[in-house]
Amino acid sequence: MSVFSSRRHTSVDRERPVRDHSTEESSAAGHLSWRYADQLAEPGILVEVKLITPGDESALLPEELTAFSKSVERVRRASGAVRVVARALLTRLGHPECAIPKDQSGAPIWPYDVVGSLAHDSRVAVAAVARRSAFRSIGIDVEIGQPLDDELIPMVLTRRERETVGEDPMLARLVFAIKEAVYKTTYPLDRIFLEHSDVEVDLTTRIAVTRNDMSVCFRYGLLSDINPHRHLCVLAWIPPI
């Protein structure tokens, strides 16, 4: 879904020593708590989540299908599911249900007075929408709530972030998800592709800053809606000027 997505799959399937994450889980517990999707939302932003189920691929409208004509079924299914969620949220904003196609970059195209974001993996779909008059942009990401592979930590975290997070792979996964959501927030505004090193995350202030000095607020949590499925969700936003 973003410029970061190619790095999600850079780890290889191989046998490796089993690492004891018990102390790392406890260190992350101060940051990661169970929340319902709507509890993640900043006032004025609507957030919803659903489990992806067989048949969700049929929810893609004709205007949306073109972008997925060469996609495998699981991709069409996830893309249909996330649009089911998004259309329900648009209805809550007072919009009639409408197609949400993709532009050439792959970003969703929203009604003119709406900002929004979509995210999914193979199991979970999540969407967020808000009125453009209330927010410049918003972004959302969902990730399986498991430690980030050790070899990816130096690729994802900046030097300053590693001083704060250390080698905690659960917090590294959190920072990864935050950077995904931040990218989705800033790209519609400046169309600049970002590397992980282009975003600096502060877990204390819950503000991320990009290389071109865009400040992005964020919230996060483990989704209670789909408990016991362990998924981390991050919502990011830029308020109006």
| Cα 116 to Cα 23: distance, rounded to the nearest angstrom | 37
* Phi–psi pair at 165, nearest 5 degrees: -85, -25
Classify residue 216: in a domain, yes or no: yes
Contact 218, 207 (CB under 8 A): yes
Total structural domains within the chain: 1
Reading the chain (241 residues) residue by residue, the pLDDT tens digits are 343 443 333 322 222 223 333 334 445 556 778 889 999 999 999 999 999 999 999 999 999 999 998 999 999 999 999 999 999 999 999 999 899 999 989 999 999 999 999 999 999 999 999 999 999 999 999 999 999 999 999 999 999 999 988 889 999 999 999 999 999 999 999 999 999 999 999 999 999 999 999 999 999 999 999 878 899 999 999 998 7
Task: Read off the pTM.
Answer: 0.87
Number of neighbours of residue 88 by Cβ within 10 angstroms = 15
Classify residue 124: in a domain, yes or no: yes
Classify residue 63: in a domain, yes or no: yes
Classify residue 12: in a domain, yes or no: no
Domain that residue 174 falls in: 23-238
Classify residue 42: in a domain, yes or no: yes
